[in-house]
Amino acid sequence: MAKKTPLSEVTLAARRGLPEEFRIILADYPRQSWPDHRDFNGLAAFWLDRHLNFRHVLAVLSGDVQLRLDRKISRSDHAQRLQRVGSGFLGDLIGHHQIEDQTYFPELARLEPRIARGFDMLDGDHHDLHALIDRFARGANEVLGAASDPKAHEAAARFLADITVFERMLLRHLTDEEDLVLPVVLRHRVG
Which residues bind to Fe ion, rule: CB under 5 A?
100, 177
Are 129 and 162 in contact by the 8 Å Cβ rule? The answer is no
CA 13 to chain centre: 13
Are 105 and 122 in contact by the 8 Å Cβ rule? The answer is yes
Nearer to Fe ion, 61 or 122 (CB): 122
Q: Which residues in 143-182 are b (16+ Cβ under 10 Å) and which e?
A: bbebeeeeebeebbeebbebbeebbebbebbbbbbbbbbb
Distance (Å, whole) CA 189 – CA 92? 25
Closest distance of CB 1 from Fe ion, Å: 26
Closest distance of CB 51 from Fe ion, Å: 6
Nearer to Fe ion, 105 or 159 (CB): 105
CB atoms under 10 Å from CB of 28, counted, come to 10
Closest distance of CB 54 from Fe ion, Å: 8
Closest distance of CB 129 from Fe ion, Å: 8
Nearer to Fe ion, 92 or 154 (CB): 92
Nearer to Fe ion, 83 or 175 (CB): 175
Closest distance of CB 148 from Fe ion, Å: 39
Nearer to Fe ion, 31 or 72 (CB): 31
| H/E stretch holding 35 | none
Distance (Å, whole) CA 82 – CA 66? 12
